[in-house]
Chains A and B, each alone.
Chain A
Amino acid sequence: MILWRYTIREMRHRPGRTTLTLLSIVIGVAAVVAVTLCGKTTRRAYQEMYESLAGRTGLEVVADGPGVRADDLVRALERLPGIETAVPTIQQTTTAYHEGQRTRVLIMGVDTEREAAIRDYEIQEGSLFQDGHGAVLESGFAENLGLRLHDEIKVLTRRGLKTTTVTGLIKLRGVAGFKQAGVVMIPLEDAQRWFLRRGYVNTINLVLADGASADELTEAVQKLAPPGALVRTPVARTKLAAATMASLEQGLKFAYGTTLALAMLMILNTFLMNVKERRRHLAVLRAVGATRGQILSMLLREGLLLGVVGTVLGCLAGVVGAAQLMKVMGGVYEADLPKVQFDLASFTVAAVLGPLMALLATYIPARQAGQVTPLEALRPLVSDDAAQMPRWFIITSVLSYVLAGALLASSIAGWLPVELSIPVGVAFMVATVPLAVILLGPLVRLTAIPVRQWLGVEGALACRQLLRRRARSALTLGVLVLAIGTGIGLGTTITNNIDDVRAWLRRTHAGDFFVRITIGDPSEDRRADIPEELGDEIRAIPGVWGLSSLRFVNTQVADQPVVLVVQGMTKGQPAPFNLIEGDPDKVAQQMFDGEAIAGTVLAQRCGLKVGDEVELSTNAGPRRVRIAALANEYLVGGLVLHMEREATRRLFDIGGVDVFMVKAYPVERDAVQARLRELTRQHGLMLYSFAELSQRLEGMLNGVVGSLWGLLVLSFIVAGFGIANTLTMNVLEQTRELALLRVVAMTRRQVAKTVLAQAFVIGLIGAVVGFGSGAVTAWIISLTMAPLLGYSIAFALHADLVLGCLVLTLVIVLVAAWIPARRATRLELLEALKYE
């Protein structure tokens, strides 16, 4: 009881110290909460980017012919754990008519109450339907057909021609616009009346819960589905999304791990200082009969109290911080970032983690405090930790570092499961902190050489102070190193990833314009061909200098659903692939000879190498094809085989065109576009420009980059607060010493300079060491990704990112040191000399 009273009084007696200690927990918890929330948002932005390529549907139940009764099945499916929503739809290819024009369309009957779950568009004009009827078209498609809002459109149904009114125009998000342009959405009931029977549908789209496995759910869904219904992963949605997401996952897990470590270090550092400052009082308590256990439990109780209060405040700060940050980043990048998603799990984790972190961080100083001998109460001055480092500490630190390094090497070599790579990476980074304690002396002495030149005696004094409180300086350094390391590591990883997507887009989308079928995903079965003769018409347009074509054919390789992309190529032109393996000079000829290029994900999953042969199931029966090269592929999944058009016609009798890619001379581009527009209207086709495609993709990439920078800024803000906190605590601890310096004729300005110099030296060392550890981290993440992606994303350090992080570090450190420096200059000498 008396100790509890003493604890409360102590907290009230030193509001500055208590606030700073509490603040360290608030910052720590806020960081963990904000990183969790921003991580979810970043994950969502990334997922949306890939979902717009592959659709949000994780599984689909397809029943051709009369279809399946929807109501009971939908309810049963939604009861399955792992399924978030089941959306019944009717998809039917048919013909639409408007003012004498005729075009093939995909009618999509949607359940207005449920379609939001798979919605991938925004309404530009009008509304979804009116009074339960109407039709909704993509605005570009409507423009091609000359359709406006409230116009009538006729649709060929099983009950003859039916007329409906255009009630809404939509803009499909992301790349979905390039896949689903020819869709006419109508209410489900209308679609049932026109094409099936009341209550029946031919497709049920299943949206899976986060983390649910499509593979594991397939069997359970199949059991519920009626006989004849097919349960499958949508063809366009392949494992690639999951695989590329894994790269981000690695990065986010790393950010989470390091933030946790950062928070722990910060709290540990503040508690160490807190306890060190009270060492004399604790010694008095020991002298008058407090046992080690009593001191330990007193401090742990204090840690728990601060932990609980800090957690509540930290959760609030984390939520507000994450929301604001994402808002700012969305504005900066003009990207539509997903809203920060709040869920109970994040807060439950924080609620447990906060007090636990505080307890763990208090344990070491509390244990140290328990070791305080009553003798210290009798000494005039409290000793510091400049004394010789214990040998056990040096040995343990070096051994931990070596062990973490060995585990890391094993992880890179593939001897450990890939899941362990991130915990091991974080452990390796954390192991640098005790090593920093050992190396702090040489590092500071080395930095002291230029610092003495620039900052004179104050710089020299600052270096001495840092070395005098070796453990505290090293922990502050540790906070910085982790923040910079995370910033550079995560930033480099995701920037490299995004550069990879951009490189793929430039390499593979070799055309200024794309002419394509109006309906459905080219990779899906429900589609219509483009008349092949159109190629000659396009080629004849003045200003067109190149034309190639694509045809998508569903096939299988070793029971693996694969899309065969038949590519019309021109002899003498380089093959438009982002090659990972294979001879770029020979690959075009090899394709003309009938060989194929495999996507890396397909190669990884089927264990394919250059030179292997695969068996394809085709209409003409099974055929064996040699793999000429491996290429990175993002669109239509990565489960892709590319073959040359003439070769496939010769070998498999596959013809037809789904997409024409047109190249035009720059000066003729507008004229070519105008002529192409006329042609596409005539034939009921869609026209897109490369600029539109890349603009849409850039928009999504900006979303990811914005979220990423949000995370980076967050880790720097946390580090900034951490440094400000520890430096303020540092100045509190040095109150008596600074007063002594003032007594022996140091001016206020010189005192401020000494404090700022301490921050500068720590910042400089932190920046250099953090840069090294960040670069190594990014490299390690890229290495550990290779087994998942099937290839290593090119590793490059980005000078702007590195320089930005380093400059930001020094600025943050100096700004953070400003308040403590100001406090130091305002010390009342006589009061400060009595400070204990």
Chain B
Amino acid sequence: MSLIEALGLKKTYHTGEVGVEVLRGIDLEVGQGEFVAIMGPSGSGKSTLLHLLGGIDVPSAGRVILDGEDLSTLGDDGRTLLRRRRLGFIFQTFNLLPTLTAEENVALPLELDDVPTPEARERATQVLELVGMSHRRDHVPGKLSGGEQQRVAVARALAIEPLMLLADEPTGNLDSANGQQVTALLRGLVDEYGQTIVMVTHDAAVAALADRLVQLRDGLVVSDGQPMAVLPKHCAVYGEERVG
């Protein structure tokens, strides 16, 4: 059974008089415990698709159904609560609040949901330990390396025990060593805890670690399958990329 389902998703952005159709009708299903990578050239609509799946943005047409709930029926506050309680986000630029410590950043979504501070902190400590960052929990983001910041961001996403993790180029701002660490962490979450992850990436090596690779082009799905089956075609079309 699918955890999230996109049906005929379309999205058009309007810049002045001109409308740009970014997604032109996407159908996609992601099952529980699945690790899906989305690839595609710039402007193909992969980030937009991720935003629609996470309720960050609303589609111009089509529907997103998460765990049986149609996101189009929710208002802004409804979608906010959905993000707060059921979805975890990981951004390319980490997006940690610079004035809060690692632990406070991780506890943030819980405290926003009125979880008592001691309880939220305890949970934050647990997930920081899970991502190997408990020793740095009192540090503010400015004192952490890029890799460490991204691991804290992963911890923040995990703190709420989300149904699904949405990651937008999580390794895009990291060097290869740190990138590998973060990718391994994500893979581990799927393998050990059955975490569902949808990840946008440019990096074929990162995509290769996913269970499934969806390739977009001009707002449409052009391929969907096992990474090893899709990647050779991808490399042929978009050039050599590092795999494995």
Instruction: Tell me, yes or no, whether A binds B.
Output: yes
Interface residues of A (CB under 8 A from B): 1-3, 5-6, 9-10, 12-13, 280-281, 284-294, 373-375, 377-378, 380, 388, 836
Contacts of B34 in A (CB 8 A): none
* Interface size class, chain B: 20 to 34
Residue in B closest to A293 when the chains form the complex, CB atoms: B77
**What's the nearest-Cβ distance from chain B to residue A9, in Å?**
4
Cβ of B225 under 8 Å from chain A: no
State whether B99 touches A375 (Cβ < 8 A): no
Question: Which chain A residue shows the least CB distance to B156?
Answer: A288
Q: List 18 A-B contacts (CB under 8 A).
A: A1-B111, A1-B117, A2-B107, A2-B120, A5-B100, A13-B99, A287-B56, A287-B83, A287-B89, A288-B84, A288-B108, A288-B156, A290-B84, A291-B77, A292-B76, A374-B56, A375-B51, A378-B92
In the bound complex, residues from chain A placing their C-beta under 8 Å from that of B113 are 289
B166 to chain A, nearest CB (A): 10
A374 to B166 CA separation, bound complex (whole angstroms):
14
How would residues 102 to 116 of chain B score, 1 for a CB under 8 Å from any chain A CB and 0 otherwise? 001001110111000
Contact between A373 and B56 (Cβ–Cβ < 8 Å)? yes
CA distance A407 to B190 in the complex (A): 69
A288 lies within 8 A of B109 (CB):
yes
Nearest first, the 8 closest Cβ-Cβ pairs linking A and B are A289-B84, A9-B99, A2-B111, A284-B95, A13-B99, A374-B56, A288-B109, A289-B109
> Nearest Cβ in chain A — how far from B130, in angstroms?
18
Contacts of B91 in A (CB 8 A): 287, 377-378
**A388 closest partner in B (C-beta):** B16
Q: Given A5-B104, A6-B99, decide whether A286 and B80 contact each other with a Cβ distance below 8 A.
A: yes
Cβ B93 vs Cβ A380 within 8 A:
yes
Extra 10 A-B pairs, beta carbons < 8 Å, given A2-B111, A288-B109, A289-B80: A2-B100, A6-B100, A13-B99, A284-B95, A284-B97, A286-B80, A288-B83, A288-B112, A374-B83, A378-B51
In the complex, the answer to whether B99 meets A2 with C-beta atoms within 8 Å is no
Docked pose: A288 CA to B120 CA in angstroms: 15
Is B97 in contact with A6, judged by CB distance below 8 angstroms?
A: yes
B11 to chain A, nearest CB (A): 12
Per the bound structure, the CA–CA distance linking A671 and B235 in Å amounts to: 116
Confirm or deny: B5 has a beta carbon within 8 angstroms of a beta carbon on chain A.
Answer: no
B8 to chain A, nearest CB (A): 22
* Pairwise interchain contact A291-B80, C-beta atoms closer than 8 A: yes
Q: Mark B145-166, 1 if CB is under 8 A from A, else 0.
A: 0000000000010001000000
Interface residues of B in 52-95 (CB under 8 A from A): 56-57, 76-77, 80-81, 83-85, 89, 91-93, 95
A731 to B31, CA, bound (A): 50
Report Cα–Cα, A9/B100, bound state, in Å: 7
Q: Check B81–A373 contact: CB distance below 8 A.
A: no
- Chain B residues near A13: list those with CB within 8 A: 98-99
Known: A1-B117, A13-B98. A373 touches B57 (CB 8 A): yes
Return the chain A residue nearest B114 by Cβ: A1
Q: Roughly how many angstroms separate A531 CA and B120 CA in the complex, as a whole number? A: 101
Q: Which of A2, A290, A291, A375 contacts B104 (CB 8 A)?
A: A2
Contacts of B83 in A (CB 8 A): 287-289, 374
Contact of B77 among A292, A373, A378, A380 (CB under 8 A): A292
Bound CA span A6–B117, Å: 14
In chain A, what residue has the closest Cβ to B159?
A288
CA distance A127 to B119 in the complex (A): 80
Q: Does B125 contact A (CB under 8 A)?
A: no
Q: Is the CB of B117 within 8 A of A289?
A: no
Return chain A residues, CB-CB under 8 Å to B57: 373, 375
Contacts of B104 in A (CB 8 A): 2, 5
A294 with B93, Cβ < 8 A, contacts A289-B80, A373-B57, A378-B51 known:
no
The answer to the question of B47 belonging to the interface, with a C-beta cut-off of 8 Å to chain A, is: yes
